[in-house]
Amino acid sequence: MSIKIKAPIWKTRSIGIAEYKLQKYNQIEILYRTKDGKKLYPHLYFISKEDALKYPTQIVKGVQLRIIPIIDLKVIKKQSEIE
C-alpha cells in the first residue's frame, strides 16, 4: 500500500504521516506538482514503521502525525524507473 502525500510541509521540507496509516513497511509518494506540471519530489520513497515512530509528533485536526524530513526517506524507485 502506498501513502500519498498531497504536499510537503514547506517550512521544514518534511511530510506528515498519520500514525494510524503506518504499516510495517510504507511506500510514500509525494503528489505535489510545480506550476509547469513537474513533480518536485518525483521518486517513490520508503520508511519502516519502526523508523517513522522515532520522529516527533504533531496533532492536526485531531490526527496524530509523525513529521518526517523528506531527506530521511529512502528512495526505492527513481522517476525514470516509474515511467
> Which pLDDT does position 59 carry in this prediction?
95
- Per-residue DSSP letters for the chain? -EEEESS-BTTTTEEEEEGGG--SEEEEEE--B-TTS-BSS-SEEEEEHHHHTTS-EEEETTEEEEEEEGGGSEEEE-HHHH-
Q: Is 28 exposed, middle or buried (0-12, 13-18, 19+ CB in 10 A)?
A: buried
Q: Is pLDDT of 70 > 60?
A: yes
Q: Is pLDDT of 64 > 60?
A: yes
pLDDT digit string, tens, across residues 15-59: 999 999 999 999 999 999 999 999 999 999 999 999 999 999 999
The pTM assigned to this predicted structure is 0.86
Q: What are the sequence ranges of the domains in the chain?
A: 2-77
> Which pLDDT does position 77 carry in this prediction?
76
